[in-house]
Amino acid sequence: MYFKSGILQAFLLGGVTFASRVPDISERTIDSSARAWASAAEKANRFISQLSLTEKAQMVTGNSSAGYCIGNSVSPVAAIPRLGFTGLCTQDGPTALNRADLISIFPSGVTAAASWDEELIYARANALASEFRDKGVQILLGPSAGAIGRHTLGGRNWEGFSPDPYLTGRSMDATVRGIQDAGVQAVSKHFIGNEQETQRSSTISEDGSVTEAVSANIDDRTLHELYLWPFADAVKAGTAALMCSYNRVNQTYSCENDHLLNTILKGELGFKGYVMSDFFAVHSGVKAATGGLDMNMPGSIDAATIADGTSFFGGNLTSAVNNGSLPIARLDDMIRRVMTPYFALKQDQDFPTQDPSTFAVLARFYAAQIPITEVPARDVRRNHADVIRRLGAAGTVLLKNINSTLPLGSPKTIGVFGNDAADLSAGLSNALKDDPAGTALGTLDVGGGSGSGTHTTIISPLDAIKARAQKIGARVSYILDNTVLAANDLHSIYPTPEVCLVFLKTYASEGYDRTSFEADWNSTLVVENVAARCPNTVVITHSAGINTMPWASNPNVKAILAAHLPGEQTGNSIVDVLWGDVNPSGKLPYTIPVNETDCNIPIVNLTSNAGPNEWQANYTEGQFIDYRAFDAKNVTPLYEFGFGLSYTTFDLGKSISTKNLFKNPSAAPDPHTAIAIGGHPDLWVDMIKASIQVSNSGKVAGATVVQLYMSPPAAVPVGAPVRSLRGFRKVYLKPGQKRNVDFLLKRRDLSFWDVASQQWILPQGDITLQIGLSSRDLRAKTTIRVL
């Protein structure tokens, strides 16, 4: 969502068409784990029975003109006082409670994924959601599994987790559970194929002609095995809602795509919650409603119609029911889907009121020319700085460490270089910056757009380094201007510091895609010039995306840390790692290439003269993105997926023990078993247990991530990856300690999607399992058969 006046426009397109019947949640088989959901659905039915037709239409239509909710002008579902319903408040985003005061900025999704720590990912989500609840917000617009990261330069990759569907799926599961255990609804987004920001929405030219949004043209198998996979995990975890995306998928807009929303999401995956549109992503009324859309946000057609409330839903749905083009049963089902999570999460019971200070925050942000009454903000941060700091350190990946340069001991002189080391110099937040490189001076702890937030506090790297230097009696000198550094003007630094810390940053934001693989602000010159002066240089990157590192082989660059976007405790978390208070345990959730030409999926970017339907993104690469593409082409990366060093060393056993947990399975799931939440229940049955021993062979305590990869047998149709991640365990060990690590492989993990039968099928033949400490550091191997 990118809610800024004048940026987005939506348009009336085409007439009404009838879609296939929407699966009604009341008809779904409820398994024992969803009894609370069934009880909530009954409450929703009683609520629906008391609504007038006008109120029913209101319940599925955002109402921005009714007043501002917390943050980003995100529209509420208006209250119905006579029924004791106080309305629903939605809010961005995945990393912070957007446009509100006295809140926390949490580590980004890519940082969370780099930790490979499901407990910390859960803790992040739970703490973030508690801030939403304490501000009176029922609905958190996150987490994000789209963009998954098809494009290395995608502007919103940082909001999500990883280009690997398994790692993203596990992260979605932990995040949805963390959010909803705090009593807040999770909205998993953006469904689906929202892989580039460029032309993600339709646009209109000065002559009034419309250019349609880019169409993500994805074959059925790739859709299921890659892009849909993490959404299935979110549905299985019980996500209250999914947000449909701006783009088209196979020529049809996502928010009116009957096949995606009805056949796959609500049918195949058994999704019982509601589908919310991304903001101004709706292009029709009845067509969208019958196509599977349950809630139109923010209600109005575009930014220009917020004031008068003109909507594809609202009164148009009332008319559609009256003229018979929309069955009342479908409208009731839309409301049931919206209200069931509300009751299931007990949001009707003592939910906090909305913080009244937020309207002033919004007015300041948008420079509203209206009288503003400032109200003290409600401080919701609690002790969240602790989890932010811990996850920021856990998501930091040690890429290079020559001669054990790190951890630092007690150097007497320390040099700090680069504009990323400094305090933020301007602005309420990193959101909605016009400069593609963000703020010139100031550390980067979060990306831009609706997923960002307003800093209450931030601990910069320079401040944290100064604080540590004071404790050890060290002298800190610094140059923060990258222009000066790029010009090789380092004369003010004397003598040469014992260690030089270079901080680089790469900004990315909703609304546009990155244009360069290298870090921003003359980063290569900055590193080369500092390293030429300082033979003990350490480079730290804060990046919203994958970078090439042409300076990585420089012999004076002794260590490299990829710190991603660690949130407001950025300085403290990096100091914890630099000085060894925390032993780095992060692993790359993506692949770092040697050259940008190794990443060969370009963002579709046509000229302004392109025809109205020419924006076509053909996913001809299939599943071969990130490490899967490198493996298929046998290209050596600079640093592979799953890679990360430690201040200690770990060993793995030479053999993998396996146990078959399910005897004589059929090739396909049982056709007589009803679909449950998350899809066919058979897909979630444990079939194989694989075990290996891991030991800490070093001298300090630390953690590693043991990773299991699966290679399919030859019988699997062409198009399968060489290997796919199918399990990981983060293990903390003291020096000399050993532990057995177990992996449970489910039917889905071992299956492939068969397009002809529209089923997940177990393959015949030998399935290869490999376990290691990265996708290319595989130390043990075995084969199994399930059929």
| Residues catalogued as catalytic | 278
Burial (Cβ within 10 Å: 0-12, 13-18, ≥19) of residue 106: buried
Tokens of 761: 């099928």
What is the residue type of 142? G
Cα 342 to Cα 87, 238, 729: the distances in Å are: 10, 13, 34
Where residue 567 falls (left for φ over 0; alpha for ψ -120 to 50; beta otherwise) is left
564-573 burial, b at 16+ Cβ within 10 Å, e below that, comes to: bbbbbbbbbb
- Cis amide bond preceding 407, omega within 30: yes
Beta bridge partners, 210, equal 204
Write out the DSSP string of 446-494: S-BSTT--B-S----HHHHHHHHHHHHT-EEEEE--HHHHHTT--TT--
Q: Distance of alpha carbon 631 from its chain centroid, rounded?
A: 24
Cβ proximity of 746 and 683 under 8 Å = yes
- Cis amide bond preceding 292, omega within 30: no
677-710 burial, b at 16+ Cβ within 10 Å, e below that, comes to: bbbbbbbbeebbebebbbbbebeeebbbbbbbbb
Tell me what percent of the chain is helix, strand and coil, each rounded to the nearest 5.
Answer: 30, 20, 50
Cβ proximity of 763 and 752 under 8 Å = yes
Which of 759, 749, 754, 747 is CA-nearest to residue 711?
Answer: 749
Q: Distance of alpha carbon 410 from its chain centroid, rounded?
A: 38
How many angstroms separate the CA atoms of 340 and 328, rounded? 18
How many angstroms separate the CA atoms of 202 and 267, rounded? 28
Burial (Cβ within 10 Å: 0-12, 13-18, ≥19) of residue 243: buried
Which of 578, 556, 576 is CA-nearest to residue 402?
Answer: 556
